[in-house]
A = this chain, B = another copy of it.
Amino acid sequence: MTHPEYILTLSCPDQRGIVHRVSGFLAEHGCNILDSAQFGDQETQRFFMRVHFAAEDAGVGDAALRTEFAQLADTLRLEWNLHDAHAKPRVLLMVSKIGHCLNDLLFRYKSGLLPVEIPAIVSNHMDFYQLAASYNIPFHHLPLATGAPEAAKLAQEARIVDLMNTHQIDLVVLARYMQILSPDLCARLKGKAINIHHSFLPSFKGARPYAQAHKRGVKLIGATAHFVTGDLDEGPIIEQDVERVDHAMDAETLSAIGRDVECVVLARAVKWFVEHRILQNGDRTVIFK
């Protein structure tokens, strides 16, 4: 028999004895720590912790664990979440006309490397309908004409929100979804939407980053996975990586090379989210790998 496992994430003002109090709570409740990491930010005086533990004593129920931890959390002024380690987060994938990240995430999902449910794929184009079908995942075509009026955009977004509600979505992944989201939708997605930007941010924000990179003559190109916020390409960075390029490559070649970096960077970010390894620290992220 395997025991229930949990992942606890928390942050709070730094103070003496947090690790001791939390580890004490777990010991008292018959829980065994499998993995634990913590970080105290000297600058902001804020403390972050992630604990993966097994509830080994039969007597400890989920509800009791939560209720009793909530009391400790109040005392320590914790912001916290307690996740069932075996529950699969529910992910909504969004894409436009460039599909390498979508394809990559779907294959990871299918082959068991990415333990999520994917109840829906949304696109403003039809290009990846067949790909979605081959994975037996419902495909929602929510077109949006270039230069569509505000109202049309909001109506389209309302349907996205409907899908999120219907499917109890935990995470939205913008896998090269090339529409700027409205401020309202960004606000609603705070902390639960990841975008892949095809540059090494903060360089080359906005449109056509590979063309910008080519023009500037950089010797490495990159990709950045970040949380979506209302400030375009300014959200907290989760992961970045780069690849070497040279003078003989035009913008199109940079783009082709960059796709491989985008896939890997986005896949890492999604995996860390799913494993509850990402905590936000103001405009930055703490990643407990």
Contact = CB atoms under 8 A, between A and B. Distances in A.
B220 A281 contact: no
A4 interface: no
Nearest to A54: B16
> How many A residues touch the partner, as a band?
35 or more
A27 B38 contact: no
Contacts of A156: none
A130 interface: yes
Contact of A20 (B26, B134, B240, B264): B26
A40 interface: yes
Q: How many copies does the complex hold?
A: 4
A32 interface: yes
A246 interface: yes
A43 interface: yes
Contacts of A218: 201-202, 237, 240
A99 B250 CA distance: 31
Contacts of A140: none
Interface in A55-111: 56, 99-100, 103-104, 107, 111
Contact of A24 (B20, B40, B56): B20
Main secondary structure of the interface of A (DSSP, over half): mixed
A184 B99 CA distance: 40
Contact of A220 (B104, B200, B244): B200
A191 interface: no
B220 A242 contact: yes
A150 to B, nearest CB: 31
Contact of A219 (B134, B240, B246, B259): B240
A19 B42 contact: no
A37 interface: yes
Nearest to A242: B242
Interface in A234-253: 236-242, 244, 246-248, 250
Given A202-B216, A239-B219, A247 B35 contact: no
Interface in A19-34: 19-20, 23-24, 26-27, 32-34
A200 B199 CA distance: 12
A285 to B, nearest CB: 6
Given A19-B23, A217-B283, 19 more contacts: A20-B20, A20-B26, A34-B40, A39-B248, A99-B107, A103-B103, A104-B107, A131-B134, A201-B216, A217-B281, A217-B284, A219-B287, A220-B222, A220-B242, A246-B289, A247-B284, A247-B286, A260-B263, A260-B264
Question: Closest 10 interchain pairs by CB?
Answer: A217-B284, A134-B134, A20-B23, A219-B240, A247-B286, A103-B107, A203-B203, A19-B23, A20-B27, A16-B32
